[in-house]
Chain A
Amino acid sequence: MTYSARVIDHYENPRNVGSFAQDEDGVGTGMVGAPACGDVMKLQIKVGQDGVIEDARFKTYGCGSAIASSSLVTEWVKGKTVGEALEIKNSQIAEELALPPVKIHCSVLAEDAIRAAVADYRKKHPNR
């Protein structure tokens, strides 16, 4: 399998690897995928009082394209409101990383991870 330069860059220099404490104020955590499928992504967003995502972290078990997709997403969600983050589409991720057809599911998973993180954030912060 050959990887695009962007996938290799994110894989070799992943952005925002790590974790926030799940109970930290403003944090939403999304975990998607399954070990049996070969991909598990954990995406965390830290949202300020103004509803803007200040910071993001990820950890991913998966192929290089899955790691790159989640790394890219942490960069993209920063500075967006949670509503704007939900507008990120898997097709944009796939295009940015030049993912081949067999790796499209990685971008789908990254989009799911955003949704899961936002849903968790909204559940924990119903009044924001």
Chain B
Amino acid sequence: MTSPRPIYLDYSATTPVDPRVAEKMIPYLTNAFGNPASRSHAFGWEAEAAVEAARAEVAALVGADAKEIIWTSGATESDNLAIKGAAHFYGQEKGRHLITVKTEHKAVLDVMREMERQGFSVTYLDVRENGLMDLEAFAAALRPDTSLVSVMLVNNEIGVIQPIEAIGALCREKGVLFHVDAAQATGKIAIDLSALPVDLMSFSAHKTYGPKGIGALYVRRRPRVRLEAQMHGGGHERGFRSGTLATHQIVGMGEAFRLAREEMAAETARVRKLRDRLLAGISGMEAVYVNGDMEARIAHNLNVSFAYVEGESLMMALKELAVSSGSACTSASLEPSYVLRALGREDELAHSSIRFTLGRFTTEAEIDTAAALLRRHVGRLREMSPLWEMAKAGIDLKAVQWSAR
């Protein structure tokens, strides 16, 4: 028996390629296959024109100049190029101190660890209970030898929007470079780099209905930001990133970002209604907590903790839903989500969190099914939970001496 595919509510993990995007990509695999770097014939010119048109579309979505967009393989590579490239270039002259936040994506945190290994010192800032940065703590962390700050625009787990305008303003004041990972933001909130005090910004195509394997890095030209290349070769992308350009992927990213620009307003309004419907559908339940600020948050994300229920068993119950759990119990480490821990969530709440991320193809019927499944299975698992039984009996779980192994 083949069971029907689950309802997809994991758009922050990845999105399907929009059929309109796929259609635009295909000719560049077969017919218009030229190397954009081939200057001597029409095949190359045709591919180059497509690449530049796509570059203009990516730039247009974020209020940048096309010359400020560098193609990469994705946001992880963009983060690596931005942080390593800037730290290596400016580290000697400005200083070897970097600042980031504990709730960043691993693509930033692990790069920071590598910079520490290379002799840089890194400050990992805490966030407030709502997941947002504390600007005073940030201002206090800036040092004369700080050369780069990296903060994500939208958090991948809890969807909160960091105050990058204020952070960037502080960076400008101190002459510190500012990198922003915007992988989860494009097509969800407006970004205007012509006004934002941001020097470097990472983008991904596959979070915004484009193909996997392609991304971009915005590198500001005024004032000019310099980077030390991390990938050497033919000197593509003005030497910032060598390697033959993947024309079809680039065309896909361009079309995906063009659609995002045109449809963002209507889509966000529709998704917000669905997200709020999901929240309303489960809000009658006891001991349900939303993780992360509800105001400074994208419309597409709902991260909820169901107290006294363990996340992995809830995921198992919700097999008709493709969602992601804050709990990393499938690894041997049994560690709850580091993002939720940074919010100061108690362990049993961090263990039971589910991330729902909605998107372009989510329907009202899917949301209603999801809410009904949650009500049913959370109830069932609580009937099975000794913690629920104790909480109902008025026992303070924090006062219990647990026999931790």
A interface with B by C-beta (< 8 Å): 1, 3, 11, 14, 17, 19, 31-42, 59-64, 66-67, 101-102, 105, 108-109, 112, 116
Contact = CB atoms under 8 A, between A and B. Distances in A.
B309 A38 contact: no
Contacts of B404: 33-34, 36-37
Contact of B331 (A32, A40, A59, A102): A102
Most chain B Cβ neighbours within 10 Å, of A1, A14, A35? A35
A37 B384 contact: no
Contacts, number: 91
Contact of B387 (A1, A3, A11, A40): A40
Contact of B329 (A19, A35, A63, A67): A63
Contacts of B309: 61
- Per DSSP, chain B at the interface is loop
Contact of B384 (A3, A17, A33): A17
Interface residues on B, range: 20 to 34
Most chain B Cβ neighbours within 10 Å, of A33, A37, A101? A37
Contacts of A67: 313, 384
B263 interface: no
A7 B164 CA distance: 47
B389 A102 contact: no
B313 A62 contact: yes
A34 B401 CA distance: 9
Q: Which 5 A-B pairs have the closest CB atoms?
A: A34-B402, A35-B348, A63-B312, A42-B386, A36-B347
Contacts of B72: none
A63 B327 CA distance: 10
Contacts of B405: 33-34, 37, 105, 108-109, 112
A38 B389 CA distance: 16
Interface in B103-150: none
- Per DSSP, chain A at the interface is mixed
Interface string B323-344: 0000101111010100000000
Contact of A37 (B331, B332, B334): B334
Contacts of A64: 312-313, 316
A89 to B, nearest CB: 17
A35 B405 CA distance: 11
A71 B330 CA distance: 20
B384 A14 contact: yes
B327 A38 contact: yes
B330 A61 contact: no
B283 interface: no
B403 A32 contact: yes
12 contacts: A33-B402, A35-B347, A35-B397, A36-B348, A38-B310, A59-B385, A59-B386, A61-B308, A61-B388, A63-B310, A63-B329, A105-B334
